């Protein structure tokens, strides 16, 4: 009999970075132990496993520690090869990685971090910058159910965990509409498709509680 694997995930319920790892593990059918961390009071385990960044997510696999959510996603994909996350074609794979980086770096910065610090006029400018960035994803979705084609893949997990199920809740909390059905029909269709996928649906944070959390995170950024 094969020895049981140790798979443990340290995360925070509201974090898109840990939620995407849960989605990936569920997609792959990998059993795992989940350890909930508290944002303001990091556990000794988290500090021991990630002493440099002191952040979630942290994946522990058979005693090995893997850090940074996109790195973890690729590790999961290479370790459990069924239901692949990344495209098999090298060009498509490079494009998925590039757009995932765009989401985690530029879209989060413009669409939340900078927006939280801005006044009302500044927010409108940043909202337009965010729309321009998201338009790159809109174009990529034309003729597809998901970024991965007919199935959920790497970019779906990255962009899905961040934009519809995190940033949009932050925008709702400050009364700002960034993504309209008229300008982003492909994006809106994609979000509806994601919401029909059981393992994605299972990992979407409860909306009302999440809106409150995003308001709280915005206050933390403003007061820093």
Q: Give the model's pLDDT for residue 224.
A: 83
User: What's the CATH code of the domain at 49?
Assistant: 3.40.30.10
Domain membership of residue 1 (yes or no) is no
Domain boundary among 20, 50, 79: 79
Range of the domain at 16: 7-79
Domain boundary among 79, 99, 130: 79
Q: Give the model's pLDDT for residue 45.
A: 97
Q: 174 with 126: CB under 8 angstroms?
A: no
Q: Give the model's pLDDT for residue 4.
A: 81
Where would I find the H helices in the chain?
16-28, 44-49, 69-79, 90-101, 108, 114-117, 120-140, 154-162, 168-173, 185-195, 198-201, 207-223
Do 64 and 96 lie in one domain? The reply is no
Domain membership of residue 84 (yes or no) is no
Q: Give the model's pLDDT for residue 39.
A: 84
Cβ neighbours of 134 (radius 10 Å): 23
Q: Give the model's pLDDT for residue 3.
A: 66
Chain position carrying tokens 């944070």 = 205
User: What's the CATH code of the domain at 147?
Assistant: 1.20.1050.10
Q: Give the model's pLDDT for residue 1.
A: 38
Q: Does the pTM of the predicted model rise above 0.75?
A: yes
- Mean pLDDT, each 10-residue run in order, the chain (224 residues): 81 98 98 95 96 97 98 98 96 98 98 96 97 98 95 98 98 96 98 98 97 96 90
Domain membership of residue 110 (yes or no) is yes
Contacts of 43 (CB under 8 A, 6+ apart): 10, 35, 37
Q: Give the model's pLDDT for residue 40.
A: 87
Angle between helices 185-195 and 120-140 (to 10 degrees): 80
Burial of 174 (0-12, 13-18, 19+ CB in 10 A): middle
């Amino acid at each position: 009999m094969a020895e049981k694997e140790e798979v443990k995930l340290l995360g925070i319920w509201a974090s898109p970075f840990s939620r995407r790892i849960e989605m990936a593990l569920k997609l792959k059918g990998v059993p795992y132990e989940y350890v909930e961390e508290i944002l303001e009071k990091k556990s000794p385990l988290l500090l021991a496993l990630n002493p440099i960044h002191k952040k979630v997510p942290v994946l522990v696999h058979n005693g090995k520690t893997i850090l940074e959510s996109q790195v973890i996603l690729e590790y999961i994909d290479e370790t459990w090869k069924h239901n692949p996350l990344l495209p098999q074609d090298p060009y498509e794979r490079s494009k998925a990685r590039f757009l995932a980086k765009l989401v985690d770096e530029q879209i989060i910065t413009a669409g939340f971090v900078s927006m939280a610090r801005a006044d009302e006029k500044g927010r409108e400018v940043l909202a337009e910058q965010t729309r321009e960035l998201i338009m790159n994803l809109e174009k990529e979705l034309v003729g597809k159910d998901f970024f991965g084609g007919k199935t959920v893949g790497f970019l779906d997990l990255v962009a899905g965990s961040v934009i519809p199920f995190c940033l949009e809740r932050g925008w709702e909390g400050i009364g700002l509409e960034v993504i309209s059905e008229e300008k982003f029909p492909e994006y809106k269709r994609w979000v509806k498709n994601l919401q029909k996928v059981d393992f994605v649906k299972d990992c979407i944070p409860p909306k009302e509680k999440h809106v409150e959390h995003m308001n709280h995170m915005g206050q933390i950024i403003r007061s820093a």
